[in-house]
């Protein structure tokens, strides 16, 4: 097959591109390198079935040039940060909403067979009901969450109105190798790992009792492939169906690294949710999704990768 991975030089996108290439598919990595990095895909660029096109999903004309003859699109490109969206909601809207609409229009016009869209658990907001089920009323509390929910609605409209098959995967706190720890908007796990490896206390916003359903990136790749290859549409939670507190996360990383220190606690950040837990029944039954890693084994793989950098 011939696939496009938007945001393919990013954290999750590079892992999807790597899997597709290893399994003999033709892969076009499309990325504007805003947050993606060439170093994430350098090992792929000498392969005959992989090509890289630098460009933004906000530029529909460049998208159209590469989409003809494409079987499917994995749409990972986004400004993926709650704090960044609060600081600059306009940029988040342009990349995540306009960008998604451009991808869908291009896919429709080029006869693409399916689009798999990277959505987010943030669309659920901070409702107290756990676990989160796909049929719950969304309650986004950040511009980022609004942008992802809007992308889902556009996918639904393009499925029903234009008969373009789409699947939306609501990721829950994905982590793994290649996740950037250096940005002020970096996710918690790479920040914790790099701090602890440097013998610096990890920073926790709040009391550390907030919990997350952490998901290792290779299981997210599996979900994307199954979503593309199976005759199914709709919205699916992608997670492990279990939650761990940030205090537990810090403790587990310290156990794996053999280092002990007390975290630094700072005030809660605006837009952060308190608890997150997914019901993955639909993904298991309809996608055939079955996580191959655990919270701890995924952390062990991730710590090992960061140690080698």
pLDDT of residue 269: 84
DSSP letters spanning 232-274: --EEEEES-S--EEHHHHHHHHHHHHT---PPEEEPPPTT--S
pLDDT of residue 270: 81
User: The dihedral of CA 103, 56, 7, 46: what is its sign?
Assistant: positive
pLDDT of residue 126: 86
Report residue 133 as tokens: 């089920």
> Which tens digit of pLDDT belongs to each residue from 77-108?
999 988 899 999 999 999 999 999 999 999 99
Catalytic residue among 3, 19, 124, 144: 144
Residue ranges in the chain modelled with pLDDT below 70: 184-186
Q: How far apart are CA 101 and CA 300, in angstroms?
A: 38
E strands, the chain, are: 2-6, 26-31, 50-54, 72-75, 114-120, 166-171, 174-175, 203-205, 211-212, 215-216, 234-238, 244-245, 264-266
Residues in the chain: 309
Cβ 78 vs Cβ 95: under 8 Å: yes
Residue holding tokens 């896919």? 107
Name, in order, each residue with C-beta under 8 angstroms of 8's C-beta and a sequence gap of 6 or more. Answer: 14, 16, 17, 27, 28, 29, 30, 31, 36, 41, 52, 74, 76
pLDDT of residue 185: 61
Between the two ends of the chain, the Cα-to-Cα distance in Å is 33
> Residue ranges of the domains in the chain?
2-175+216-241+277-291
pLDDT of residue 218: 98
Name, in order, each residue with C-beta under 8 angstroms of 9's C-beta and a sequence gap of 6 or more. Answer: 29, 31, 33, 36, 37, 38, 40, 41, 52
Cβ 149 vs Cβ 167: under 8 Å: no
3-class DSSP state of 166: strand
Tell me which of 3.90.1640.10, 3.40.50.720, 3.40.50.2300, 3.30.465.10 is the CATH number of domain 2-175+216-241+277-291: 3.40.50.720
| Segment 36-43 long-range contacts (CB within 8 Å, at least 24 positions apart) | 36/7, 36/8, 36/9, 36/10, 37/9, 37/10, 37/180, 38/9, 40/9, 40/10, 40/11, 40/14, 40/178, 41/8, 41/9, 41/14, 41/17, 43/18
Cβ 257 vs Cβ 303: under 8 Å: yes
Is 124 one of the catalytic residues?
Answer: no
pLDDT of residue 272: 81
């Amino acid at each position: 097959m011939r696939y496009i991975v938007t945001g393919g030089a990013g954290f999750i996108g590079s892992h999807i591109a790597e899997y597709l290439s290893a399994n003999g598919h033709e892969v076009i990595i499309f990325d504007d390198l805003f947050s993606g990095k060439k170093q994430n895909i350098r090992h792929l660029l000498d392969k005959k079935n992989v090509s890289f096109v630098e460009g933004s999903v906000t530029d529909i004309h460049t998208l159209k040039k590469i989409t003809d003859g494409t079987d499917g699109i994995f749409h990972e490109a986004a400004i993926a940060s709650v704090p960044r969206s609060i600081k600059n909601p306009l940029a988040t809207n342009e990349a995540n909403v306009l960008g998604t609409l451009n991808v869908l229009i291009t896919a429709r016009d080029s006869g693409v067979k399916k689009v798999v869209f990277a959505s987010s658990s943030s669309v659920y907001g901070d409702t107290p009901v756990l676990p989160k089920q796909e049929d719950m009323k969304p309650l986004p509390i950040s511009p980022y969450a609004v942008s992802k929910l809007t992308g889902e609605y556009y996918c639904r409209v393009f499925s029903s109105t234009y008969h373009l098959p789409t699947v939306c995967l609501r990721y829950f706190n994905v982590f793994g190798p290649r996740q950037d720890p250096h940005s002020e908007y970096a996710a918690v796990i790479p920040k914790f790992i790099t701090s602890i490896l440097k013998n610096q206390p990890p920073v926790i916003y709040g009391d550390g009792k907030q919990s997350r359903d952490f998901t290792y990136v290779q299981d997210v790749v599996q979900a994307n492939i199954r979503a593309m290859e199976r005759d199914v549409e709709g919205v699916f939670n992608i997670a492990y169906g279990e939650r761990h507190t940030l205090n537990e996360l810090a403790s587990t990383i310290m156990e794996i690294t053999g280092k002990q220190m007390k975290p630094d606690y700072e005030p809660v950040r605006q837009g952060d949710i308190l608890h997150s837990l997914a019901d993955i029944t639909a993904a298991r039954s309809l996608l055939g999704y079955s996580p191959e890693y655990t919270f701890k084994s995924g952390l062990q793989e991730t710590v090992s990768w960061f140690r080698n950098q």
